[in-house]
Chain A
Amino acid sequence: TQLLEQSPQFLSIQEGENLTVYCNSSSVFSSLQWYRQEPGEGPVLLVTVVTGGEVKKLKRLTFQFGDARKDSSLHITAAQPGDTGLYLCASIQGAQKLVFGQGTRLTINP
């Protein structure tokens, strides 16, 4: 099983600041997905990246896939309290099995 390492594990910042969280593996990803999970709810898909070097934007969120497809980052600009949640990266392994990293728990303080 390909392991996905996310960092940092916990991040607490003030509203309006910028932040970046990371997802890394020692192996190449065929594709990578980012999810956000709010307390008491299931994860919600944010984006899928497939091509090395790919950059996707979702409002204030910017997702980047490394050139070698072994790492990905999520950058949030001007963070807001509504961005608080658990951010998970995941990759498909085996017959459609989605394997998740342990997540970055993000808290944005007003």
Chain B
Amino acid sequence: NAGVMQNPRHLVRRRGQEARLRCSPMKGHSHVYWYRQLPEEGLKFMVYLQKENIIDESGMPKERFSAEFPKEGPSILRIQQVVRGDSAAYFCASSRGRANYGYTFGSGTRLTVV
């Protein structure tokens, strides 16, 4: 399967716990983007990363959220001390280069905070 792989597909966390969402980009893609989608809404940009670098994090909440894309391994979106408002679908996308060619999205991780 050469697509964008996200895991887990579903994640349940209690308030105050940490959530770690993983994304493996398509083979040959070195650009990774994270988006959040609330029910019945469009996708909101969170962060854009290249290997070992955060390029644009203008959509990331200032606290509790962080992202990384290490030299080896998947990209990780980390949410500390989750609250009910963090419940959403989180999508990762990757591209080879310029976004003009379009992104390839993963199937998402649905985070539920109870």
CB within 8 Å of B: which residues of A?
A: 31, 33, 40-45, 48, 50, 88, 92, 94-103, 105
Confirm or deny: B48 has a beta carbon within 8 angstroms of a beta carbon on chain A.
yes
A-B contact pairs, 28 of them (CB 8 A): A31-B100, A41-B107, A41-B108, A42-B91, A42-B105, A42-B106, A43-B91, A43-B105, A45-B103, A45-B104, A48-B101, A48-B102, A50-B100, A88-B42, A88-B43, A95-B55, A96-B98, A96-B99, A97-B33, A97-B45, A97-B48, A97-B99, A98-B33, A98-B93, A98-B99, A100-B42, A101-B42, A103-B42
Confirm or deny: B72 has a beta carbon within 8 angstroms of a beta carbon on chain A.
no
The answer for the CA separation of A48 and B95 in the assembled complex, in Å, is 14
Interface size on B, residues (CB 8 A): 28
Smallest CB separation, A79 vs chain B (Å): 21
Smallest CB separation, B77 vs chain A (Å): 15
